[in-house]
Amino acid sequence: MRIVFFGTPDFAVATLEKLLNDNNHQVIAVVTQPDKRRGRGSKMIPSAVKKTALQHNLPIWQPHRIKKDQTTLQLLQQSQADVFVVVAYGQILSSQILQMPKYGCINVHGSILPEYRGAAPIQWSIYDGKQETGITTMLMDEGMDTGAMLLKAYTPISLLENSDTLAEKLATQGAQLLLQTLAKLPDIKPTPQDDALATHARLINKEDYLINWKNSAGQIHNQIRAFYPNCFTTFRQQKLKICNSIPLQDIENLELPPELLKIKSYLSDIDSVKGEVGEIVKTVKNFGFIVQTGSGLLLILEVQLAGKKLQSAWNFINGTHLQLGEFLS
């Protein structure tokens, strides 16, 4: 098939590369968001998809508003594409665009639809404590992820997985599912979504990053890994990011990676440890410190003070001479 690829962030790169390495298809152009100013010096930085497209000498179109950019609309119409493939592009496509390709526009979405329609499905599925997610390919319509579904692929979410690691897994899974979808496209019967089962994965706001220690250990842990590495609290009147944690409820039965197994040997007396909400109640040698939440205890493993680099919570303890009884607020 002749394909125009629409995408912007790292999540979309795996699918673009999969298409470029497949002899059955030809990517004839890439549509991505305009370069943005980022980092120190506010340099203009291209999207991850644009960087990949440049490496393969592909035509690149970067309209600010694709619905009204007449030059891009004309290029898309003239492309004679069989299909437009859309992966986390970041703009809504008009009905005019959706009707251009022979087989329509296929979207690779990071959830099992109709759950988590919207901009941040990976983050909100972790935040809600889901144990499973996946990828859905669908035929796009004018709604927000409301089109008829084509194929689905599932993947588990482990308790210690964050949005970055899950996104990497889903990006690889999505690339493979897209190729399967294209191969079977003439024979797939699209399945309409049940709107009554739909949930919305809204854009993430800065307010979502603030930790409220009155919440349960499980809720805070899910927030930390969903919005990694941005969740923060206050320590000694300074902003402190909390980047990695473990809820300690039923710690004996928790499956931990080999490098963390020794934690269990330090927590034999954990049932007797209690404090006020936000209080640092215990340290765990070589690992970190434990905070009392509104319900349950949370072990903090990695932190980042404002203006400093990410570090282990154990190094933070030693560097700040942290004392039991201090509070995160």
Query: What is the reported pLDDT for 290?
Result: 97
* CA atoms within 13 Å, Cβ hemisphere of 261: 4
Q: Residue ranges of the domains in the chain? A: 2-201, 206-320
Q: What is the pLDDT of residues 94-106, one digit of tens each?
A: 999 999 999 999 9
Query: What is the reported pLDDT for 318?
Result: 97
- Give 3-state DSSP helix, strand, coil % of the chain, rounded to 5: 30, 30, 40
What single-letter DSSP state applies at residue 279?
B
Q: How far apart are CA 38 and CA 220, in angstroms?
A: 29
- The yes-or-no verdict on residue 254 having pLDDT over 90 is no
Answer with the residue of higher pLDDT: 115 or 249: 115
Name the nearest CA neighbour of 287 among 261, 312, 268: 312
Q: Give the model's confidence band at 246: pLDDT under 50 very low, under 70 low, under 90 confident, else very high.
A: very high
Query: What is the reported pLDDT for 41?
Result: 77
Residue 295 assigned to a binding site:
no
Residue 114 assigned to a binding site:
yes
- The yes-or-no verdict on residue 253 having pLDDT over 80 is no
Q: How many Cβ atoms are within 10 Å of 173's Cβ, its own excluded?
A: 19
- Name 266's Cβ contacts closer than 8 Å, sequence gap at least 6: 284, 285, 287
Whether the predicted model's global pTM rises above the 0.85 cut? yes
Query: What is the reported pLDDT for 323?
Result: 97
Query: What is the reported pLDDT for 271?
Result: 82
Map tokens 């499980």 to a residue.
218
Q: Say if residue 103 is exposed, middle or buried (CB neighbours under 10 Å; 0-12, 13-18, 19+).
A: middle
Q: Give the model's confidence band at 37: pLDDT under 50 very low, under 70 low, under 90 confident, else very high.
A: confident
Q: SS3 of 75, please?
A: helix
Q: How far apart are CA 4 and CA 78, in angstroms?
A: 11
Distances (CA, A) of 94 to 66, 119, 141, 143, 272: 8, 17, 9, 10, 60
Q: What is the pLDDT of residues 27-36, one digit of tens each?
A: 999 999 999 9
Q: How far apart are CA 127 and CA 106, in angstroms?
A: 27
Query: What is the reported pLDDT for 311?
Result: 98
Query: What is the reported pLDDT for 267?
Result: 83
Query: What is the reported pLDDT for 259?
Result: 84
Q: How many secondary structure helices (H) and strands (E) does the chain include?
A: 8, 17
Whether 49 and 20 have beta carbons less than 8 Å apart is answered as no
Query: What is the reported pLDDT for 262?
Result: 85
- The yes-or-no verdict on residue 69 having pLDDT over 90 is yes
Residue 125 assigned to a binding site:
no
Query: What is the reported pLDDT for 213?
Result: 98
Dihedral pair phi/psi, residue 224, rounded to 5°? -60, -45
Q: Give the model's confidence band at 53: pLDDT under 50 very low, under 70 low, under 90 confident, else very high.
A: very high
Query: What is the reported pLDDT for 79?
Result: 96
- The yes-or-no verdict on residue 39 having pLDDT over 90 is no
CATH architecture of 206-320: Roll (3.10)
Q: Give the model's confidence band at 77: pLDDT under 50 very low, under 70 low, under 90 confident, else very high.
A: very high
Q: What is the pLDDT of residues 257-299, one digit of tens each?
A: 888 888 888 887 888 899 999 999 999 999 999 999 999 999 9
Dihedral pair phi/psi, residue 221, rounded to 5°? -60, -45
Q: How far apart are CA 227 and CA 129, in angstroms?
A: 13
Output the CA torsion 214→217→221→224 (10° steps).
20
Distances (CA, A) of 123 to 118, 186, 193: 11, 33, 22
Which of 38-47, 156-165, 198-207 comes out lowest in average pLDDT?
38-47
- For domain 2-201, give the CATH number: 3.40.50.170
Query: What integer is the mean pLDDT of 162-178?
Result: 98
Beta bridge partners of 299: 246, 290
Q: What is the pLDDT of residues 221-235, one digit of tens each?
A: 999 999 999 999 999
Q: How far apart are CA 166 and CA 110, in angstroms?
A: 10
Q: Could you tell me the maximum CA-CA distance found in the chain, to the nearest angstrom?
A: 71
Query: What integer is the mean pLDDT of 195-220?
Result: 97
Percent of the chain predicted with pLDDT > 90 = 89
Long-range CB contacts (< 8 A, 24+ apart) of 88-92?
Answer: 88/7, 88/8, 88/9, 88/11, 88/12, 89/6, 89/7, 89/8, 89/12, 89/31, 89/32, 89/33, 90/8, 90/9, 90/33, 91/33, 91/65, 91/66, 91/67, 92/67, 92/142, 92/144
